[in-house]
Amino acid sequence: MAQDHAALPSKAADITPTPVRPGIDLQINGEAFHHTGDPEMPLLWYLRDVLRLNGTKYGGEHGEGGADLVLVNGKATSAISVTMSKLADKKITTVEGLTDRKGAGLHPLQQAFIDEDAIGCGYCTPGWLIASMDLLNRVKDPSDNDIDTLPNLCRCGCQTRVRKAVKRAAAAMKQGAKA
Ligand code: FES
């Protein structure tokens, strides 16, 4: 039986698919990434499910308790509450990004949390570290009241030791510990 080819494309160029949507370029812990998936995907799922950066935790659908905090251009931000579409050309730092990849070891904040035993089960710890980093970027010598303004919750009762850890880190950073 004869086939009707009239409706078929005449040139290969005619069948080049157009992209469904543009990708989103962003930087995470100093590395460039290009997200081509759902632009409404929360950043938390991109970090945990796509990149397998599991340090940032789920704390609730609105980021209650601060376990899902990351730095977006240096500002503590709920990773469940921000979608990939809002992150074009932004610089993200997760808790994994606080550690010096060139072998200088833990960030002074991480070391202070260890030294002050400010970690119970550890679920809230990445969020505390990120929120504390944001605080120390703004306030070099934070008071207990400053630390108490952080949105984080610890169900293991580490708040008092977190205060000490943040102050210890602030002192270390003032003395020139490498951040
Ligand atoms: S260390 Fe367990 S919730 Fe904070």
d(CA 129, CA 157): 16
pLDDT over 90 (residue 87): yes
Same domain, 72 and 90: yes
* Domain's final residue, options 98, 118, 149: 98
Q: Which of 37-51, 77-91, 95-109, 134-148 has the lowest mean pLDDT?
A: 95-109
Quote the pLDDT of residue 22.
81
Same domain, 39 and 78: yes
Quote the pLDDT of residue 72.
98
11, part of any domain: no
pLDDT over 90 (residue 102): no
d(CA 36, CA 2): 42
The residue nearest atom 4 of ligand 1, judged by CA position, is: 154
Same domain, 91 and 144: no
Q: pLDDT tens-digit profile of 139-168?
A: 999 999 999 999 999 999 999 999 999 999
Ligand 1 neighbours (beta carbon < 6 A): 119-125, 154-156, 158
Atom of ligand 1 nearest to the CA of 128: 4
Contact of 175 with 145, CB cutoff 8 Å? no
Angle, helix 159-174 to helix 108-115, in steps of 10 degrees:
140
136, part of any domain: yes
d(CA 79, CA 172): 28
Quote the pLDDT of residue 176.
80
Arithmetic mean of pLDDT, 53-57 = 97
Task: Choose the residue to mutate in 69, 95, 156, 161 for probing ligand 1, maximizing ligand atoms within 8 Å of C-beta.
Answer: 156
Same domain, 88 and 117: no
Within a 10 A sphere around the Cβ of 105, how many other Cβ atoms?
11
Same domain, 94 and 144: no
19, part of any domain: no
Dihedral over Cα of 94, 98, 101, 105: its sign: negative
- The tally of domains found in the chain comes to 2
Atom of ligand 1 nearest to the CA of 124: 4
Quote the pLDDT of residue 35.
95
18 CB-side CA count, 13 A? 2
Same domain, 113 and 163: yes
* Domain's final residue, options 98, 116, 150: 98
Give the Å distance between the CA of 124 and the centre of ligand 1: 5
Same domain, 90 and 148: no
Arithmetic mean of pLDDT, 20-49 = 94
Domain range for residue 28? Answer: 24-98
Quote the pLDDT of residue 105.
83
144, part of any domain: yes
The domain that holds 145 is classified in CATH as 1.10.150.120
Quote the pLDDT of residue 99.
86
Same domain, 113 and 151: yes
pLDDT over 70 (residue 117): yes
* Domain's final residue, options 70, 98, 126: 98
Secondary structure (DSSP) of 76-144: EEETTTSBGGG-TT-EEE-GGGGSBTTTTBS-HHHHHHHHTT--SSSSSHHHHHHHHHHHHHH-SS--H
The domain that holds 60 is classified in CATH as 3.10.20.30
Quote the pLDDT of residue 11.
67
Arithmetic mean of pLDDT, 59-88 = 96
Cβ burial of 120 (10 Å; 0-12, 13-18, 19+) is middle
Same domain, 82 and 125: no
32, part of any domain: yes
9, part of any domain: no
Task: Choose the residue to mutate in 129, 155, 159 for probing ligand 1, maximizing ligand atoms within 8 Å of C-beta.
Answer: 155
179, part of any domain: no
